[in-house]
Amino acid sequence: MDQKPHYQLFIDGEFTDGAQGQTMSSENPATGTHWATFACAAPDDVDCAISAARRALNDPAWRDMTQTQRGKLLYRLAELIEEHAEQIGRIETTDSGKLLAETAAQSAYVGDYYRYYAGLADKIEGAVLPIDKPDMHAFTQREPIGVVVAIVPWNAQMFLTATKLGPALAAGCAVVLKASEIAPAPLLEFARLIKEAGFPPGVVSVLTGDAENCAIPLTRHPDVDRIAFTGGPETARHVVRNSAENFAVTSLELGGKSPMVVFDDADLDGAANGLIAGNFGASGQSCVAGSRGLVHRPVFEKIVSLIESKMEGVTVGDPLAPDTQIGPLCTSAQIQKIEAALNAARSAGARIRFGGSRLERAGNYMAPTLVECPNTDIETLKVEMFGPVMSLIPFDTEEEAIAIANETPYGLGAGVFTQNVARAHRVSGRLKAGICWVNTYRAVSPIAPFGGFNQSGYGREAGIDVVYDYTRTKTTWINTSDAAMANPFTMR
């Protein structure tokens, strides 16, 4: 019988099974079988990782490294990621159920994120201030903010790691990366590339484990200076409370219930493709899933018909197979949550146009589902589904569409489909979302800021400015006069 892989923690430049030797098993969502084990961090491991990060900040090997040299290390990491993209993608697919076509491509693409921040590493500048006092030279400089805790979920691990680790390392910080205890294998494997790239010990550590033994000690630790968190709002509330213990600067990228608005003047075939990409891409396991489809009533049935016809030939199956288009969900708990929401939707008068049930096969497979909603009180329009469920509701006027779109506590993404340029600007400008796509959906880039409003969090990831979020400003005053400093008790 084949031996199952075992993944260790990465602390202070070494791989370890941790202080207490605790392990967990990871389940392959496509088969429902345990395929690997991984070490779980204990509070002592958290202390070790953060202590190592603090030492690294004071170690000349990292502290005195020039900004250009830091950039070169990030360039090297980008090369290694691209070289191992297929391997990491295969591990992530086995661990999370996401399609290999997506995980391998995403792993390769995040190399561009590390290159982007590699290029910014030696462009983090201060300024000479035009100070209003004679004989004074005042200037600012940006210093690393310190020890960063970066917490990422399982659903887009390499991408969500890059948006935190890239700018943090470019700024000269030391990072403790916390992988989800659900499907952590790819990030524990990624630690090998960090070591191979040549980062000094302690600059990056990679942990995983449960809330009590890992996440809570990390976010409460007195030596943590910054927390970058991606996950759900409920967990985020705990993170924010914990950060009150150390006053760590905190950014949150949380969930969403993103609207996709289709007007009757849109390219309907393109709009249908956008709705499918926004809802069934990544099997719906995306924080920016466009799971609230708002469709102009005159074209509602046409859009439904197009979606139905396009979904007829979709292959649901083994995520490692090249012809599979929708894979399993990561956990069986997701399916249970979806089933409960669909039952509530049916009871409230919603119509299931296709799908609506778990597939009778091994693994966590949910049939792609389209829900036609008579009003905004339908459960599938209100809760984050995190599965292949699209909910459509008709609207009559532009004002109604904007009102429905903004009727949510979230505000991460939004989509607008129209060929009217004036309407595109008008509507996108009024949607309460941190990201708005027009005639496309789910496009990302290291150049474009990513983040939300309201209960979708605060702070941004990616873009040129985010590197400054991992620095703090120091102001230095120099008296350039040869005269002695004046008597402080003599006021002039």
- pLDDT tens-digit readout, 65-123: 999 999 999 999 999 999 999 999 999 999 999 999 999 999 999 999 999 999 999 99
Report residue 180 as tokens: 């989800």
State the Cα–Cα distance between residues 229 and 156, nearest whole angstrom.
13
DSSP conformation letters of 453-475: SGGGEES-BSSSGGGGGGEEEEE
User: In the chain, what percentage of residues exceed pLDDT 70?
Assistant: 99
Confidence class for position 1, pLDDT limits 50, 70, 90: very low
CATH 3.40.605.10 region(s) of the chain?
6-254+452-476
Say which residues have a Cβ less than 8 Å from residue 297's Cβ, sequence separation at least 6: 394, 395, 396
**Cα within 13 Å of Cα(423), Cβ side:** 18
Say which residues have a Cβ less than 8 Å from residue 106's Cβ, sequence separation at least 6: 89, 156, 158, 159
Amino acid (one-letter) located at 365:
Y
C-alpha gyration radius of the chain: 25
Specify the CATH number for 259-438; select among 3.30.70.20, 1.10.10.410, 3.40.228.10, 3.40.309.10: 3.40.309.10
State the Cα–Cα distance between residues 334 and 232, nearest whole angstrom.
14
pLDDT at 473: 98
Report residue 183 as tokens: 């499907």
Neighbours of 375 (CB within 10 A): 11
CATH 3.40.309.10 region(s) of the chain?
259-438
| 253 classed as catalytic | yes
For CA atoms 53, 54, 59, 62, give the dihedral sign: positive
Beta strands in 333-463 (DSSP E): 351-354, 369-372, 389-395, 413-417, 435-438, 457-458
Of residues 52 and 487, which shows the higher confidence score?
A: 52
Task: Show the DSSP H helices in 221-287 as ranges.
Answer: 233-243, 268-280
Q: In the chain, how many H helices and how many E strands?
A: 14, 21
pLDDT at 490: 80
pLDDT at 313: 86
Tell me what the mean pLDDT of segment 324-344 comes to.
96
State the Cα–Cα distance between residues 356 and 361, nearest whole angstrom.
15
For CA atoms 183, 184, 187, 188, give the dihedral sign: negative
State the Cα–Cα distance between residues 315 and 259, nearest whole angstrom.
26
User: In the chain, what percentage of residues exceed pLDDT 90?
Assistant: 97
**Cα within 13 Å of Cα(122), Cβ side:** 12
**Could you tell me which of 326, 310, 323 has the C-alpha nearest to residue 366?**
326
- Catalytic pick from 92, 102, 189, 253? 253
pLDDT at 193: 98
C-alpha angle 221-225-231 in degrees, rounded to nearest 5? 75
DSSP conformation letters of 176-190: EEEE-SSS-HHHHHH
Report residue 117 as tokens: 């921040």
pLDDT at 486: 86
Q: In this structure, which topology does domain 6-254+452-476 adopt according to CATH?
A: Aldehyde Dehydrogenase; Chain A, domain 1 (3.40.605)
Average pLDDT over the chain, rounded to an integer: 96
State the Cα–Cα distance between residues 492 and 318, nearest whole angstrom.
81
State the pTM of this model: 0.95
pLDDT at 408 over 60: yes
State the Cα–Cα distance between residues 344 and 198, nearest whole angstrom.
53
pLDDT tens, 228-261? 999 999 999 999 999 999 999 999 999 999 999 9
Could you give the dihedral angle defined by the CA atoms of residues 46, 52, 54 and 56, in that order, rounded to the nearest 10 degrees?
-150
Q: In what order do the strands lie in the sheet with 6-7?
A: 6-7, 33-39, 23-28
Confidence class for position 144, pLDDT limits 50, 70, 90: very high
Confidence class for position 39, pLDDT limits 50, 70, 90: very high
pLDDT at 492: 59
